[in-house]
Amino acid sequence: MLILKSVSLFDGDQLLEGTFDILIEKSKIKAIVPEGNKIDIKGARSIELKGTLACPGFIDIHAHLREPGEEWREDIESGSLAGARGGFTTIVAMPNTSPPLDRPELIRHIARKGREVRGAKVLPSGAISKNREGKELAELFGMAKEGAVLFTEDGSPTSNTELLRNALLYTKDLNLKIMEHPEDPYLSNGGQINEGKISALSGLKGIPRSSELIGVERCIALAEELRSPIHITHVSTKESISAIRSAKERGIPITCDTTPHHLSLEESEIIKSDFNPVYKVKPPLRTLEDIEALWEAISDGIIDAIATDHAPYHPDEKDLPFEEAPFGIASLECAVAVVLNEWHNRKQKISIERILRLFTSGPSRILPERYRELGKLKEGGIANITVLDLEKIKKVNASSWVSKCRLTPWDGITLKGWPILTIVEGEVFQIDI
């Protein structure tokens, strides 16, 4: 038995008035009572949390955990522990592994490991096509039965539009979403950074903004025609936001997410850092105007989730000149803090509820129906809880990370607002009070 004492509460949708004590028994939330209505249970462990905020456990629907095949970068266990340290209780692992997660037996393996890990629970996603080649549909039904929670070719877009269309039709009855990485690979071929000011100054090949927009528009066209829902991941430009906003207004069933790095880092960091590859990411870091458009989209509810796109590499793989380094930022352990820190700069304009929904009820609605409860904090629910201290100021210290990858643009940066306690299925995982 565990009692969280005197904590404020966000239930997945809104902040509740007052402070509460939360009683946890085994893996369930037994009771939530207003502070003062004493819960006194002999032998129960209690944690004093005055001044902090309990939320449903945070969900990351987009992380690369590299298992199977590239476990030197990360694996299910290290990713799970890193996620819990960063405030996440559920993580969706991407299928662009080696081999790709394109078969039911591989999904079964990841699903089993993902349930057994100590930290955040890991849910598998499956590839849309066999071997991620974009030629033949993978066994989507079989993978769904084994626990795949969404399908995606992420790492790259679905190369064949007909295949993507067929996948949308095929999964419509499975009630699972296709998650699409929006990019036109011909337009972004060889590109390194956003096409614009910094590509002009540096000579690095630019990725045109239209590359992402064409990917977004393709999703919108297919979702509209088929009335089949699609989720667009790591949206990064104001043009994409504008297209998504207008599609949503027309009632087209699309959802989208963006990332902590696209919400906080400008393309100019690349040149300021003398081409430090920790800033190399796909889609590329954009402009201040794009960052503002993303925050505006958060403010008016156009963005449905924030996902890390945690993309770990071994130091040697990323320790290269910018042009040769792979795309990807590691962030599981500071992603929530990065977003909260940015929110502090904008809190006059955006309520904390907006932000918290993007980590809780928002992503839970992108997952299959049976996971909807993960986005709620309520009596009788699973005891997945993330406790935040919105005022906590702490420096990112990547050398202390449990993730195998410490290549992060925020190392040494001081951030305000941190997760201080993560409880996964009743187990206290991390205390930083």
Q: Which is nearer to another protein, 26 or 272 (CB)?
A: 272
State yes or no: residue 319 binds another protein (CB under 8 A): yes
State yes or no: residue 197 binds another protein (CB under 8 A): yes
Cα separation, 373 vs 296, in Å, equals: 28
State yes or no: residue 324 binds another protein (CB under 8 A): yes
Q: What's 204's DSSP letter?
A: P
Q: Which is nearer to another protein, 56 or 206 (CB)?
A: 206
Q: Which is nearer to another protein, 17 or 274 (CB)?
A: 274
Phi, psi of 192 (to 5 degrees): -120, -35
Minimum distance, C-beta of residue 113 to another protein, in the bound complex (Å)? 33
Minimum distance, C-beta of residue 57 to another protein, in the bound complex (Å)? 39
Residues recorded for the chain: 433
State yes or no: residue 320 binds another protein (CB under 8 A): yes
Closest Cα to residue 76, out of 104, 101, 58, 103? Answer: 101
Q: Which is nearer to another protein, 323 or 353 (CB)?
A: 323
Give the range of 140-148, 166-174, 252-260, 313-321 binding another protein by CB under 8 A.
313-321
State yes or no: residue 323 binds another protein (CB under 8 A): yes
Name the token pair of 186: 């011909």
Closest Cα to residue 183, out of 237, 137, 264, 129? Answer: 237
Q: Which is nearer to another protein, 195 or 257 (CB)?
A: 195
The active-site residue out of 75, 304, 309, 389 is 309
Minimum distance, C-beta of residue 357 to another protein, in the bound complex (Å)? 36
Minimum distance, C-beta of residue 271 to another protein, in the bound complex (Å)? 8
Cα separation, 248 vs 183, in Å, equals: 20
State yes or no: residue 200 binds another protein (CB under 8 A): yes
Among 316, 370, 399, 400, binds another protein (CB under 8 A): 316
Among 6, 159, 160, 202, binds another protein (CB under 8 A): 202
Among 198, 223, 367, 388, binds another protein (CB under 8 A): 198
Cα separation, 417 vs 134, in Å, equals: 42
State yes or no: residue 196 binds another protein (CB under 8 A): yes
State yes or no: residue 208 binds another protein (CB under 8 A): yes
Residue in the block written with tokens 């997410």: 257
State yes or no: residue 251 binds another protein (CB under 8 A): no
Helix (H, G, I), strand (E, B) or coil at 295: helix
Stretch (H or E) spanning 146: helix 140-146
Active-site annotation holds for 173 = no
Helix (H, G, I), strand (E, B) or coil at 223: helix
Q: Which is nearer to another protein, 186 or 348 (CB)?
A: 186
Cα separation, 367 vs 150, in Å, equals: 7
What type of residue sits at position 68? P
Q: Please give the biggest Cα pair distance in the chain.
A: 68
Residue in the block written with tokens 């008035």: 17
Contacts of 223 (CB under 8 A, 6+ apart): 168, 229, 230, 247, 252, 253, 254
Cβ of 404: how many Cβ atoms within 10 Å? 21
Size of the site for another protein (CB under 8 A): 24
State yes or no: residue 412 binds another protein (CB under 8 A): no
HSE, CB side, 13 Å, CA atoms: give it for residue 326: 14
Residue in the block written with tokens 């997952």: 367
Which pairing describes strands 28-34 and 58-63: parallel, antiparallel, or unpaired? Answer: unpaired
Binding mask 273-302 for another protein (x = CB under 8 A): -xx-x-------------------------
Q: Which is nearer to another protein, 225 or 319 (CB)?
A: 319
Which pairing describes strands 2-9 and 20-25: parallel, antiparallel, or unpaired? Answer: antiparallel
State yes or no: residue 322 binds another protein (CB under 8 A): yes
Name the token pair of 393: 């100021």
Q: How far is CA 47 from CA 24, 85, 432, in A?
A: 11, 18, 12
Among 18, 34, 99, 203, binds another protein (CB under 8 A): 203
Give the range of 189-197, 295-303, 342-350, 363-371 binding another protein by CB under 8 A.
189-197
State yes or no: residue 186 binds another protein (CB under 8 A): no
Minimum distance, C-beta of residue 115 to another protein, in the bound complex (Å)? 39
Q: Which is nearer to another protein, 341 or 408 (CB)?
A: 408
Catalog residues that contact another protein under the rule CB under 8 A: 192, 195-206, 208, 274-275, 277, 316, 319-324
Tell me which residues are annotated as active site: 309
